[in-house]
Amino acid sequence: MLFATISNIFAVVFLGYSVSAHPSDVHPTPDGTETNSSSTFPPPSSSPNFKFLFGGQIQDAPQYPLASPFGPERIAIAQPQTNFTDMNGEVVATVVKRSSVNHGILSTNGFAYPDGQLLIQWADDRTYAFMRFLGVGDHHKRLMLYVHAETDANSTHADLNGKFLVGEFLYSPSVEGRVFVLYEQSG
């Protein structure tokens, strides 16, 4: 039930459409009629907007496949040092070398479920931020991510601690590795 509710909220908020009621959402009332609990969810007034924070090219790193008892393969990847830049090409942050890892699952149908973390150092105040991400997508095209950030309380970027962040890993044959882009919810 909780998963169905979360799925419905995700569909309405991020995809812009309503999901039909699940049979478990229909409940009998004392007078014999039925109510639909999912119909009490009011539609959102608008979809959220996101603005670009930074992005950068993540070099391919050695992958360490682990056979999973669930069928797909779990991949461990230690991310190399990478610079992230803003829209003007200015370095905003650097991934700390050998501090970040992805332990995602690569399924047999080509979908990937990244589960990892990045430790970055901000260029302006030299403080650190820990970023944890979870996501899903086509391993050879685009992976969408939810990103949770924890920054030093004294950092100029401390406001990210309370922001809803999304990211994506984009794959392009013309780029060595993948492109990582981070967005924050705005407005």
Q: Around Cβ 75, how many Cβ atoms within 10 Å?
A: 21
Binning pLDDT at 50, 70 and 90, where does residue 15 land? very low
* Cα–Cα distance, 76 to 44 (Å, whole number): 39
Domain extents for the chain?
2-40, 49-186
Query: Would you place residue 70 in the very low, low, confident or very high pLDDT band (cuts 50, 70, 90)?
Result: low
Q: What is the structure's pLDDT at 16?
A: 46
pLDDT in tens, 37-68: 555 667 777 888 899 999 988 776 666 666 66
Query: What contacts 34, CB < 8 A, 6 or more positions away?
Result: 26, 27, 28
Find tokens 């040092």 and name the residue.
81
Global model pTM greater than 0.75: no
What's residue 84's pLDDT?
Answer: 92
Average pLDDT of 9-29? 46
* Domain 49-186 CATH assignment equals 2.40.160.20: yes
Please name the helix (run of DSSP H) or strand (run of DSSP E) that holds residue 3, with its range, or none: helix 2-10
Position 94 confidence tier, pLDDT thresholds 50, 70, 90: very high
Task: Tell me the pLDDT band of 110, cut-offs 50, 70 and 90.
Answer: confident
Arithmetic mean of pLDDT, 136-141: 86
CB-CB contact of 54 with 92 (8 Å): yes
Give the per-residue pLDDT at 57.
84
Give the model's pLDDT for residue 75.
67
Confidence of residue 19 (pLDDT cuts 50, 70, 90): very low
Mean pLDDT of 87-108: 84
pLDDT higher for 16 or 101? 101
Q: How far apart are CA 101 and CA 75, in angstroms?
A: 10
